[in-house]
Structure 1
Amino acid sequence: MSDDLFRPLGQAPRAVSRARVRLDPAALLPILAAAVIVAGSAATAWFQPQFRTASFEVPPPAPPKQPEPVARAPLPPPAKTGLDGVQAVGSPPPVVDTPYGRIDVRDPQSLRQPPAMAAFPDDALIESSRFGPLPVRASDGRRPFDVYAGASSGALGARIAVIVGGLGISQTGTQAAIQQLPGSVTLGFAASGNSLSRWMAEARRSGHELLLQTPMEPVGYPQVTPGENTVTVADMTAGAFDALYRSLGRMTNYVGVMNYMGARLTADADAMRAVMDEAARRGLMYLDDGSSSRSLAKATAMSEGTPFAASDILIDGDRDPAKIRQQLDALERTARAKGTAIGVASAFDTSVAEIAAWVHEAEGRGVEIVPVSTLAWDPEQH
């Protein structure tokens, strides 16, 4: 009755189909077979416990593939340090304190004057004075000892420095020495010589390292004298440097000073201390020519921090060519025994000729002739 109230007008009720769904027996066969298999498996597991669980060997997972190694640029070598802990080549030069101010510690090779400029003084290394252009440390700490030094190979083996002094006195002798001697030979110019600026430039263009020979008080002075502007014990102990400055101002572009005579002064501790301190303050080395067994030069140089070297052999105490050759051979034996040797000679014709010939022969035997600064003890590099 209620259905009739909500039926749309004019529509008769639909007859519901009561037809039964009939299943095809063939379609049931797969289902029955699956049921039988499941039932059999269950029975087997129930009556045979060893089959209730199954164990399977699962292969371990393959290790992850490692990425290809990436090539890396080599690391820069660590900064080297010397015995005093100061950084050396390969790192920025640090600033260190010295008794003469703050300086940069750098590779000495990098401070050397370029060969094309060797004949010209470095203005930064000159102090203008009434005595002439005095050598001085540059404001950045560079020394004449560094800048005007000659070059060497740095190779291992026997090394010999030969110094030929007395140049500037004889014009012809000076020119002959500069022209005949190889550039590896160090030249010493007498402070009392002539035209020293001219000879300096010519010698430097030829590759020579230079020393300035300073007259110093000998035993028996003033009856025995090395010449004008002699540096005396009295002057040095009184702090009077005029005579020394007059010598230092005669020339430029030299690495250091060497004594001319001076047995009296070099044996006096106070006088030598003043000389060495002044040399160190100005950035110069000191070479002892070995003429006096009483010299205090080495001990004083080490206490005052002055670059220092000393001669092992006087080459031409006897000017006979055969004797000179014997001394040169002795110099070579010393170098082969010790590793280094230093010989001093004067610019006599026979000395220059013998030394020039011997140098070429010694180099052929594997001996390197080096500037004397190469063999000097340097407290700022050791």
Structure 2
Amino acid sequence: MRFPMPWRALCVALGLLFAAVTQAAQPVRLSLIIDDLGHDPERDRRVLALPGPVALAILPDAPHATSLARDAHRAGRTVMLHMPMAPADGAFAWLPNQPPFVWLERLEAALREVPHASGLNNHMGSRMTADDAAMQVLMPELQRRHLFFVDSRTTPKTVAAANAQRIALASLSRDLFLDHDSRPEAVAAAFQRGLDIARREGSVVMIGHPHASTLAVLERELPKLAAQGIDWIDVPPMIALRGNQAMPAHGRNGQYQ
């Protein structure tokens, strides 16, 4: 059937309107992790005061690690162990050429310093998360302990998420760092890029750090999320939502590469 030109224009307009309404109806979700916590009580308190389900990734060798983990747990926040890995150093760090029993001893010791941790992400770690043998030790141990894993993706050579996916360990990968550039305008621009990812892909996992500039942007922008149609959800629900599948930036057909 051929429609007169006005009807064809109307049909096109209605189709565009339907597509816009359908797109707007799709849930858009965001999860936020703040790394490197436990060093500065004032900034740690600002993170705890953020108005939503921020996950706190706490360094085991930070002086206030244990007290912050307990405070965060009491506040109902997700506590994560921010596990040092080479090129990070220190008493808890996973380093190349260590025997697996040393890695596991260091993990055990780090978890004692960060009580109530329900998951782990790597602090630095570009050497270790690219080490297939090390990740084949880590992921089954996290599964045994009923802990989830978030790949901070500090290197494009990471095999961490792929190893987690291979054994069906509850896991996520970071989509965006908020503050590679910690200038206020750069953090604000990165936050908006994260929202663009969420609108395009349906969800985004952001990682930030307790810089004064980052916290100021988050304190200003996070209360606006609901009005923008963004649902801020905790890390465990995001793991369930993504179902251990890789996002397009991290793999193909849901498989990490």
Band of TM-score, shorter chain: 0.7 to 0.9
Query: 1:311 and 2:174 equivalent?
Result: yes
**CA–CA distance in 2 between the matches of 1:359 and 1:257?**
24
Name 2:28's counterpart in structure 1: 158
CA change 1:252–1:215 in 2 (3 A) is same
Structure 2 SS opposite 1:290: coil
Aligned to 1:168: 38
* Residues 111 and 117, structure 2, Cα contact 8 Å, conserved in 1: no
Give the match for residue 251 of structure 1: 114
Residues 142-196 of structure 1: CA deviation (Å, up to 9, x unaligned): xxxxxxxxxxxxx9610000111111011222122222x1231111111112233
Shift of 1:236: 5.2
Amino acid at match of 1:193: A
Verify the 8 A CA contact 1:290 1:314 in the aligned structure 2.
no
* CA offset digits 1:39-98 (Å, max 9, x no partner): xxxxxxxxxxxxxxxxxxxxxxxxxxxxxxxxxxxxxxxxxxxxxxxxxxxxxxxxxxxx
User: Does the Cα contact within 8 Å between 2:38 and 2:44 map onto a contact in 1?
Assistant: yes
1:369 corresponds to 2:232: yes
Correspondent of 1:345 among 172, 187, 208: 208
2:157 partner letter: R
Seq. identity, %: 22
**Distance in 2 between the 1:204 and 1:229 partners?**
22
1:234 Cα deviation from its structure 2 partner? 2.4
Matches of 1:169 and 1:362, distance apart in 2:
29
- Give the AA of the match of 2:61: S
Which of 186, 202, 205 is matched with 1:323 structurally? 186
Relative to the length of structure 1, the TM-score reads 0.54
For residues 300-332 of structure 1, the C-alpha deviation after alignment (integer angstroms, 9 at most, x for no partner) is 001123111111011011111111111111111
Structure 2 alignment gaps of length 5 or more: 1-24, 245-257
Aligned equivalents of 2:208, 2:90: Cα separation in 1: 19
- Counterpart position of 1:200: 69
Residue 156 to residue 184, structure 1, CA distance change in 2 (3 Å): farther
Change (3 A) 1:295 1:356: same
> Partner letter of residue 188 of structure 1?
A
Q: Take 2:30 and 2:237, find their aligned partners in 1: how far apart are those partners?
A: 10
Gapped regions of structure 1 (runs ≥ 5): 1-154, 219-224
Change (3 A) 1:239 1:348: closer
**Residue 243 of structure 1 aligns to which amino acid in structure 2?**
R
Q: Is contact 1:306-1:378 (8 Å) kept?
A: no
Q: Is the contact between residue 52 and residue 232 of structure 2 (CA under 8 Å) also seen in structure 1? A: no
- Partner of residue 211 from structure 1, selected from 62, 80, 101: 80
**Cα pair distance change 1:168/1:364, threshold 3 Å:** same
Match of 2:97 in 1: 234
Count of matched residue pairs? 218
| 3-state secondary structure, aligned to 1:229 | coil
What letter matches 2:147 in structure 1? L
CA distance in 2, matches of 1:226, 1:157: 41
Distance 2:199 2:44 in 1: 31
TM-score (structure 2 length as normaliser): 0.79
1:277 aligns with 2:146: no
Give the secondary structure class of the aligned counterpart of 2:122: strand
Match of 2:47 among 177, 188, 205: 177
Q: Using the alignment, how far apart are the partners of 1:255 and 1:240 within structure 2? A: 19
C-alpha distance in structure 2 between counterparts of 1:268 and 1:323, whole Å: 32
Aligned-pair distance for 1:207? 3.3
Q: Distance in 1 between matches of 2:53 and 2:170?
A: 20
Deviations 1:218-265 (A, max 9, x none): 2xxxxxx34322112323546752122111211222220000011111
